[in-house]
């Protein structure tokens, strides 16, 4: 299975900490191998995601402060594909099979506010999850769900210290022995 990593662009620590953390949580829960937060080093987001991985399992990595252009250039030089999630792209339902069939590693780019125009040209695929304004975390969840054909819902995380015991009512969290 090819590697799939999420690249989060435009993180503004004072404003986006919660949403960027949610992008990382969605990436992990829905099957990505890791998340890279571009350009800005944010230790609090790193620690939040690392704590989830420690408690709920992995593998999953987070890096912050990586220059987005360098990240994309290195990814493409290594033979990987860049998938940019944007409301202006081709509908995901029309592109997902082509993206899924490729054996190349995938770098899935999600933005915060305005994404540099250059991203549209660098991306191998500009893909939309609806052509309506919405959350990048929501778009990422839908894309990953479609990419993995729903199999990510059955994923078991290794080295989990905590897990949920599913039930109709109530909350039961189980600690590993």
Q: Determine the Cα–Cα distance for residues 67 and 38; give it in Å rounded to an integer.
A: 5
Q: Determine the longest span between alpha carbons in the chain, in angstroms.
A: 50
Task: Say if CB 49 and CB 149 are below 8 A apart.
Answer: no
Does the structure show a pLDDT above 80 at 113? no
Domains and CATH numbers, the chain: 4-175 (3.40.1280.10)
Q: Among 16-25, 67-76, 83-92, 97-106, whose mean pLDDT is lowest?
A: 16-25
Read off the pLDDT of residues 55-87 as tens digits, 9 standing for 90 and up: 999 999 999 999 999 999 999 999 999 999 999
- In the predicted model, what is the mean pLDDT of the chain? 95
Q: Say how many Å lie between the first and final Cα of the chain, rounded.
A: 31
* Locus of tokens 């202006």: 88
> pTM for the full model?
0.95
In this prediction, residue 145 carries a pLDDT of 98
Q: Determine the Cα–Cα distance for residues 76 and 79; give it in Å rounded to an integer.
A: 5
Q: Determine the Cα–Cα distance for residues 40 and 144; give it in Å rounded to an integer.
A: 25
Task: Say if CB 71 and CB 36 are below 8 A apart.
Answer: yes
């Amino acid at each position: 299975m090819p590697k799939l990593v999420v690249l989060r662009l435009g993180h503004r620590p004072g404003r986006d900490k919660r949403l960027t953390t949610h992008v990382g949580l969605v990436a992990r829960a829905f099957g990505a191998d890791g998340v890279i937060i571009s350009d800005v080093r944010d230790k609090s987001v790193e620690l939040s995601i690392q704590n989830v991985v420690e408690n709920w399992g992995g593998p999953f990595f987070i890096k912050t402060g990586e220059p987005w252009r360098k990240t994309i250039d290195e990814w493409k030089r290594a033979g990987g594909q860049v998938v940019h999630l944007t409301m202006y792209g081709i509908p995901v339902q029309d592109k997902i099979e082509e993206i899924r069939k490729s054996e190349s590693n995938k770098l899935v780019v999600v933005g915060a506010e305005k994404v540099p125009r250059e991203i549209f040209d660098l991306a191998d695929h500009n893909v939309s999850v609806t052509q309506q304004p919405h959350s990048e975390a929501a778009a990422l969840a839908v894309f990953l769900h479609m990419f993995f054909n729903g199999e990510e819902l059955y994923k078991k995380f290794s080295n989990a210290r905590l897990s949920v015991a599913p039930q109709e009512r109530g909350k039961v969290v189980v600690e590993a022995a």
